[in-house]
């Protein structure tokens, strides 16, 4: 956690020096939302229902495992979902680009590749989410679109909004960027359809999501696994995610002794010199970037999201209601 993030979550008084910048951020955001409401900026709808999974804070909240589990569940309900992602950190030669399980993370981005490796459903990266969503409907015949992030991407009209928040850090000091961690004010939660809390305690009207870890998987040889209990000495852990401390605390809660916990910036483009030729534990998001040069002693810890039955049933009802409404308008 860098010095600015520490200030957001520890209530540092000096953050008031950033209040003028936060006011400018609020003004620009408010003007943008107003422009969409008034039709000065055009928003577009695709023929399939759109579910946006996003957040109102910067940093990791658990959106990626949420998207994976959501799409798995949608397939179990008989839907043919497709995922649209901005592809942050990737530089593709053209868009929209369909992600394959063996795509280069430097081209498509680390999170889209991670999601695609867990899902058989199509995933497209495109900075223009409207274009990407239309491509999923027209080329892949998806009957529901899941947008990985994009809560503030108002150009793409959405039918259901799911906001994921960190159950431990929640909204920090409650101020907008850069004075606080918020992209939008806390009022935005009341406008969304579902608020999902990753860990901690869910408040009234919120739905709890928990992350369950599996066995360690070898980065170089994915068919090899080992238990956390088999680590009989302190080991190094690295994380290049939005909230690295969550990963380190998860390992410690499982009884892993850490000789070093090294945090990198989110979406860090790992290279071989970043890590030692020794036992290293990392997240699965980092592993997809380290696999081409991985050492045999590097392992990642997969996690999967568990969603409440109440949330799933309410979401299913919303989807069915949305379909009946669209059919009636035809």
89 marked among binding-site residues? no
The pLDDT tens digits of the residues spanning 27-84 come to 999 999 999 999 999 999 999 999 999 999 998 899 999 999 999 999 999 999 999 9
Higher pLDDT, 13 or 116: 116
91 annotated as ligand-binding: no
Strands (E), 140-188: 144-148, 160-166
Q: Is 61 annotated as a binding residue?
A: yes
Cβ neighbour number for residue 59 with a 10 Å cutoff: 19
The whole-angstrom separation of Cα 61 and Cα 240 is: 14
Starting at the edge strand found earlier in the chain, the sheet holding 97-98 runs 97-98, 123-125, 81-85, 144-148, 50-54, 160-166, 194-198, 207-213, 303-307
CB 185 within 8 A of CB 176: yes
Give the pLDDT score at 328.
Answer: 47
Query: 327 falls in which pLDDT band (50, 70, 90)?
Result: low
CA distance 133 to 126: 9
The CA radius of gyration of the chain, in Å to the nearest whole number, is 20
Distance of CA 200 to the CA centre of its chain: 18
Please state the separation of Cα 1 from the chain's center in Å.
Answer: 18
Q: State pLDDT tens for residues 221-277.
A: 999 999 999 999 999 999 999 899 999 999 999 999 999 999 999 999 999 999 999
| In the block, residue with structure tokens 């400018």 | 24
What pLDDT score was predicted for residue 11? Answer: 80
- Domain positions in the chain are 19-210+306-325, 215-301
Q: What is the pLDDT of residues 284-321, one digit of tens each?
A: 999 999 999 999 999 999 999 999 999 999 999 999 88
Per residue in 129-180, pLDDT (tens digit) is 999 999 999 999 999 999 999 999 999 999 999 999 999 999 999 999 999 9
Q: Check the annotation: does 195 bind a ligand.
A: no
Q: The domain at 19-210+306-325 falls in which architecture? A: 3-Layer(aba) Sandwich (3.40)
Does the annotation place 225 within a ligand binding site? no
Q: Is position 163 annotated in a ligand binding site?
A: no
Does the structure show a pLDDT above 60 at 330?
no
Q: What is the pLDDT of residue 323?
A: 61
Instruction: Judge whether 60 is annotated as a binding position.
Output: yes
pLDDT of 322: 74
- pTM value is 0.94
Residues 140 and 81: their CA atoms lie apart, in Å, by 9
pLDDT in tens, 96-135: 999 999 999 999 999 999 999 999 999 999 999 999 999 9
| Residue 254 DSSP label | T
């Amino acid at each position: 956690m860098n010095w600015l993030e520490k200030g957001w979550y520890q209530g540092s008084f000096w953050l008031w020096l950033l209040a003028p910048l936060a006011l400018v951020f609020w003004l620009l955001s408010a003007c943008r939302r107003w422009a969409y409401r008034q039709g000065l900026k055009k928003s577009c709808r695709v023929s399939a229902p759109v579910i946006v999974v996003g957040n109102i804070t910067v940093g990791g909240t658990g959106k990626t495992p949420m998207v994976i589990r959501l799409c798995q569940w949608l397939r179990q309900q008989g839907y043919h979902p497709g995922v649209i992602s901005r592809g942050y950190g990737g530089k593709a030669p053209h868009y929209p680009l369909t992600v394959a399980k063996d795509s280069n993370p430097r081209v498509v981005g680390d999170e889209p590749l991670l999601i695609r490796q867990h899902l058989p459903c199509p995933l497209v990266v495109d900075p223009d989410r409207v274009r990407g969503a239309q491509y999923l409907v027209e080329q892949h015949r998806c009957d529901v679109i899941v947008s990985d992030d994009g809560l503030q991407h108002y150009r793409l009209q959405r039918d259901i909004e799911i906001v994921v928040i960190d159950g431990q850090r929640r909204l920090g000091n409650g101020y907008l960027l850069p004075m606080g961690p918020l992209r939008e004010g806390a009022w935005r939660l009341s406008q969304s359809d579902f608020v999902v809390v990753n860990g901690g305690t869910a408040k009234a009207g919120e739905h709890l999501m928990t992350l369950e870890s599996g066995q360690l998987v070898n980065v170089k040889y994915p068919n090899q696994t080992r238990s956390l209990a088999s680590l009989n000495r302190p080991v190094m852990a690295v994380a290049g995610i939005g909230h690295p401390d969550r990963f380190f605390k998860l390992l410690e809660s499982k009884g892993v002794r850490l000789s070093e916990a090294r945090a990198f910036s989110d979406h860090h483009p790992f290279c071989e010199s970043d890590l030692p030729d020794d036992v290293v534990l990392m997240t699965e998001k980092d592993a997809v970037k380290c696999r081409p040069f991985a050492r045999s002693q590097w392992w990642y810890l997969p996690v999967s999201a568990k969603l409440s039955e109440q949330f799933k049933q309410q979401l299913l009802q919303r989807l069915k209601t949305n379909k009946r409404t669209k059919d009636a308008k035809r």
